[in-house]
Amino acid sequence: METTLRGVGVSHGVAIGEVRHMGTAVLEPPAKQIPAEEAEREQGRARKAVDAVAADLIARGNLAGGEAQAVLEAQALMAQDPELMADVDRRVAVGSTAERAVYDAFAAYRELLAGAGEYLAGRVADLDDVRNRIVARLLGVPMPGVPDSDEPYVLVARDLAPADTALLDPTLVLGFVTEEGGPTSHSAILARALGVPAVVALPGAGELAEGTMIAVDGSTGEIFVDPTEEKKGQLEAAAAERRAALDSSTGPGATADGHKVPLLANIGGPADVAAAVEAGAEGVGLFRTEFLFLDDSKNAPSEGKQVEAYRTVLEAFPESRVVVRVLDAGADKPLDFLTPADEPNPALGVRGLRSLLDHPDVLRTQLTALAKAAEGLPVYLEVMAPMVADRADAKAFADACRAAGLRAKFGAMVEIPSAALRARSVLQEVEFLSLGTNDLAQYTFAADRQVGAVSRLQDPWQPALLDLVALSAEAAKAEGKSCGVCGEAASDPLLACVLTGLGVTSLSMGAASIPYVRATLAKYTQAQCERAAAAARAADSADEARRAAQAVLSGE
C-alpha cells in the first residue's frame, strides 16, 4: 500500500527506483593489547593508512573538481591533523593496535567537538567517514561506500559523506535519501551541483527495506513508498512538464513583466566554470577562493598561483560581473597559518574577515593578485568580505582594497544578524551587499547548518530570516546600491520569487539550479512576487510561509 513520508527536499527532480542502502560502517576494532616492541611498527601502519586515505580523498577531489574538491581536500587535512596523529601515537605507545588507536582518537575528537558548543557537530559525518576509511584500510576490509549495482537505484543512508556524494554516478544513482543532514549540508550542496534529486532529514529513512520501490520528489521533500502506477505517472508527468519549462526558458533572468533579476553562479574554482556558462549564468555571484588555500594548510599560496587561478575564471565571463569572496577561513576550514588552534568555539571566534585583518599580509597578497588578474580584461570585478559584523569591519576591508590598488567594487557579506540590522551603516563604507543565507540562518537561530535535528531552523523560509533579508534589501535601495543573495536560498525557485519581491537585486546559486529559477521567475510579475513576499513574512513558520507564498502565486 502506498505511503507518504516527508523530509526536506534539497535538490530538484523526481527519482523512481528501488532502495539500496549505503555500505555498513566499519565495525569497532577489538581492544587488544600489543607488546611494547610492536609499538613502532603499529605507529608506522597508522601513519601509512592515514597518508593513503588522505591521498585517496585528494584524488577523488581532483576527479570531482569544483566545490567537491575543496570539501574533500578539507577532509584530507582532517585525516592528517597533527594533534589527532599525536594522539594515535600515544595510544599505540601504551599498547593499542593501530586500528584501535585510530578509532579511539577519533572518538575523543568527536567528544571535543560536542563540548565546543556543537558548532562542528555537522561535520561528524565527515569525521566518521575519515575514521572508517582509515580503520577499513588497517583491517584490510572493503571501504564503506556506495553499493555496487548494475541497475539504477535510489541510495538511502543515515548520512552521506562528501567523498561518496562527490563521485556519485547519476546514471546509476537516480536520487538519494538521508536520515540526517540539512538543506545547506555538504551533501545537499553537492547533490544540487550534480543535478541528482535528493531528500534529507527524513526520520526513519534507514528503516526503508532494501529493494523497496520508492519515488523521491526532491522539490517537495516527499517520499512515496510503494507508489501506485497512477502516482508514478503523475510524478513523471510533473517532471516532464518541468523539463519542458526549462528547455523553453532562456536568456537573462526576469519576471513576467520584464523586471530584471540577474541570475549568477556560485563557483568553487575554475572547474565549475563550464557548467555555469552552459547553464546561462549571467556572471558569478560567489567565487569561493578557499580551494587555493586548502592545498597546504601551513602556507598561503603565492601571489602568482592566485593570479593564474583568478584570471582563468575572469576570462570566462567577459562583460559580466564576477563577485569574488576573499578567503573565508576558520570554523570548519581551519588553516594552520591563519586560524587559532585553541578556540573553544571557532564559529563565534576569529574567522572570515577577522582572520584576514589579523594577518594583513595574507589579505594584501590576495587583493593584489585579484587586481593583477583583472588587468586588461573586460570584466566587472567585485570583491567582498565574509563575516562582516559592522561598519568598522566594512571600513577596514574597503581600506585594505584601496591600499592594494584594487580597481573594483568592494562589498560586504551579510551573514551576521548585526550586519542586516545595521545595513545602512555598513553601506556607508561599501558599494554592495551579498546575503549568505546559510550562515545568516545559522547565526539567527543558533542552529548549525549541518545538524539534521535542527533542520527546521535552517529552513530559509523562516519568516525571521526573510525579515533580515528585507531589512538588507530596503537599506540597499535607500542607499542606491545593490543587494544580492548568494546563499542556498536562491536555488529554490519559489523562494527566488519571494526574494525578488523582498527587493533583492540579483540571485546567485549552483549552476544546476539556474534553469529552474529562470523558468519560475518568468511565470510571475514583480507585483505578484511582492505580494508573495508579504504573505510569507506575515506567516509564523517556514511551512506556513511557503504555503502562503505558493497560494499567492497560484492565484488561490
Catalytic residues: 186, 486
What is the DSSP annotation of 404-461? TT--SEEEEEE-SHHHHHTHHHHTTT-SEEEE-HHHHHHHHHT--TT-GGGHHHH-TT
3-class DSSP state of 533? helix
- Do residues 440 and 468 touch, judged by C-beta distance below 8 A? yes
Grid cell 587555493 — which residue? 292
Dihedral sign of CA atoms 123, 208, 453, 449 in order: positive
Q: In what order do the strands lie in the sheet with 14-21?
A: 3-6, 222-225, 213-217, 14-21, 153-157, 173-178, 198-200, 8-11
SS3 556: coil
Residue 243: what residue type?
A: R
Cell digits of residue 132? 572508517
Alpha-carbon gap, residue 477 to 474, rounded angstroms: 5
Q: Find cell 578556540 and name the residue.
A: 343
Q: Evaluate whether 348 touches 360 at the Cβ level (below 8 Å).
A: no
Query: What does the alpha-carbon distance between residue 286 and residue 490 come to, in Å, rounded to a whole number?
Result: 12
Give the separation between CA 9 and CA 146, rounded to whole angstroms: 21
Contact yes or no for 333/74 (Cβ under 8 A): yes
Contact residues for 535 (Cβ-Cβ < 8 A; gap 6+): 545, 548, 549, 551, 552
The upper half-sphere exposure of residue 294, i.e. CA atoms within 13 Å in the direction of its Cβ, equals 31
Cell of 348: 563565534
Task: Specify whether the CB–CB gap between 281 and 264 falls below 8 A.
Answer: yes
- Whose cell is 582572520? That residue is 355
Return the DSSP state at 33. Answer: B
**For residues 374 and 306, what is the distance between their CA atoms, to the nearest angstrom?**
12
User: What value does the CA radius of gyration of the chain take, rounded to a whole number of Å?
Assistant: 23
| Neighbouring C-beta atoms of residue 171, cutoff 10 Å | 7
